[in-house]
Homo-oligomer: A and B are copies of this chain.
Amino acid sequence: MATFVMQALGCDVAAINTVNFSNHTGYRRFQGTRATAEEITNLWNGLKSSYLTDFSVLLSGYCPSAAVVNAVGVIARELRLRSELSPGDFFWVLDPVMGDQGKLYVAEEEVDAYGQLAGQADLVLPNQFELELLAGLEVGSIGKGGMKSCVEAMGKLHATGVSHIVVTSIRVEGQGEDELQVVGSSVNSKGEGRYFVVKVPKLDCFFSGTGDMFAGLMVARLREECEQQGTLRQRAWMSDDGVGPADLPLARATEKVLSSMQMVLEKTMTARDEQMAHFGQSPGASIGGLDGDQISTEEDRRYLAQTQAAEVRVVRNQKDLLEPDERYKAEAV
């Protein structure tokens, strides 16, 4: 997902896969392998030995172990070192994939690894739960504390050295049920956050890969906005202090990213509903495993079919990635 959306927006990508699975884990069953830290490091060493190190952005996502997180950290530090004389030449976007909605899906030691590493990234993309983990807050505290506690947690993350943060969705008490809030911030020269929020309608469907979709689109759009505002030569692509929260490149990029995503996800929902309307009418055609699983129940099959039907229609809707409508506006918090 991340590779494709970056490529669709014109980025040359060298992808190092951290897992090699038959399908996403939303299906609740899969085959394949997780990369070890040694495999990641070998691939990086291979790139280095051919001088293939001319990367302007690193996007790091799901890591299957703390050792892999640390191997990614080494890559980031070596790329950073390489750009020491021209700091804007390297930018690290870190998606600290650890869990969601209060549930951890990595080992505890991986949380520690991210805690030590996140401060070195330029842009961190946690969800609400991951922000709580990174800020050392009690799980659920942002939900209770509302926007104020979200901003406080982001302030703590800024204080570790992170220039830009986008919290990819927050759910707080009193918030509208059918609304999703995305909160972002870029620090000024004093290290103070400039906070903004973008509100989008919540879609009634579980999609897999939307975190990677957000991250991939953000890489391309943030660089584009920073180029337009002339900040690519600055350390961490920092904007002048005069730029207000809603006018930050990060805010503009978030608007575009969310518009693209909503457009593709709405079309995915429509296609899903059409597909599921035919479920069971043509056994062996639209679904129909070969001989993989003889014992699956009707309920099981319906779940798998629903999961497939909700696969994000990103390839056939790439026009929406390139040319999103102007739908949402960032507001200062």
On A, residues with C-beta under 8 Å from B are 4, 7-8, 10-13, 17, 20-23, 27, 29-33, 39, 42-54, 78, 81-82, 284-293, 301, 304-305, 307-308, 311, 315-316, 318
Contact = CB atoms under 8 A, between A and B. Distances in A.
Contacts of A290: 48, 53, 78, 81-82
A292 B49 contact: yes
A316 B11 CA distance: 7
Contact of A31 (B8, B31, B42): B42
Q: Copy number in this complex? A: 2
Contact of A47 (B22, B44, B45, B48): B22
A78 B285 CA distance: 14
30 contacts: A4-B4, A8-B318, A10-B315, A12-B315, A20-B20, A20-B39, A21-B46, A22-B44, A23-B47, A27-B50, A29-B49, A29-B50, A30-B50, A31-B42, A31-B49, A32-B43, A33-B39, A48-B293, A49-B289, A49-B292, A49-B293, A51-B287, A51-B293, A51-B305, A51-B308, A52-B308, A53-B290, A54-B285, A82-B284, A82-B290
Contacts of A289: 48-53
A291 B10 contact: no
Give 5 closest A-B pairs by Cβ, nearest first: A22-B46, A31-B46, A48-B292, A49-B292, A51-B289
Task: Among A10, A22, A43, A288, find the residue whose CB has the most chain B CB atoms closer than 10 A.
Answer: A22
Contacts of A8: 7-8, 318
A53 B23 CA distance: 12
Contacts of A20: 17, 20, 39, 43
A316 B81 CA distance: 28
A138 to B, nearest CB: 37
Given A50-B307, A54-B286, 9 more contacts: A10-B318, A20-B20, A22-B50, A29-B50, A31-B45, A48-B291, A51-B293, A54-B285, A82-B290
A52 B290 CA distance: 9
A304 B289 CA distance: 46
A11 B50 contact: no
Contacts of A44: 22
Nearest to A81: B290
A23 B46 contact: yes
Given A4-B7, A7-B4, A10-B316, A50 B23 contact: yes
Nearest to A41: B31
Nearest to A311: B12
B51 A32 contact: no
Contact of A288 (B45, B82, B292): B82
